[in-house]
Amino acid sequence: MLKITCLGVAAVLGVAAEANGVFMLWSPEAWYLAVPGVTTTGPFNQHFVRDIGLIFLFVGTAFLVGAFAPRHRVILWATPTLWLSGHALFHFWEVAVGICGPSALARDFPAVSLPALIGAALTYWAIYEGRTAPAVRLNQLQGEV
């Protein structure tokens, strides 16, 4: 049951990141105006929004492929989780140095910090699953003999 849940969560995270990336690439100004708090971070910059949109496409693709490629799952999930975590830490830094008020952390939590936490949990699970899966398969094979 845990495996199905983790794979489902990874797929949802992947689809959400892909959708966000497509939105950022397709209509960067609409994305800039639609996402709460983005307009308070500085003036609209189409190039910057599209650059980050590409990153979200890579993040989404990595989570989706990782859901179906157990052999490469750890690296496929750890890599985008590092970026998501850096992004979340950057938001904390902005509050720490006074660029944003503390309310920005609560506002940004669902779209910034939560994906990083989910990615970390999924990566941890993938590491654990990767270490225990060979032993489980060996026990199953020994039971068949």
Number of domains in the chain: 1
Distance, in Å, from the CA atom of 16 to the CA atom of 128, rounded to the nearest integer, reads 25
Give the model's pLDDT for residue 130.
87
Distance CA 145, CA 126 (A): 29
Domain enclosing residue 30, as ranges: 2-144
- Residue 104's pLDDT band (cuts 50, 70, 90): very high
Instruction: Say yes or no to pLDDT of 138 above 70.
Output: no
Q: Tens of pLDDT along 126-136?
A: 999 988 765 55
Tell me the mean pLDDT in the region 10-32: 98
d(CA 34, CA 81): 25
DSSP collapsed to 3 states, the chain: CHHHHHHHHHHHHHHHHHHHHHHHHHCHHHHHHHCCCHHHHCCCCHHHHHHHHHHHHHHHHHHHHHHHCHHHHHHHHHHHHHHHHHHHHHHHHHHHCCCCCCHHHHHHCCCCHHHHHHHHHHHHHHHHHHHHHHHHHHHHHHHHC
pLDDT digits (tens, 9 = 90+) for 39-76: 988 999 999 999 999 999 999 999 999 999 999 999 99
- For 56, the token pair is 């979200």
Q: Is the pLDDT of residue 86 over 70?
A: yes
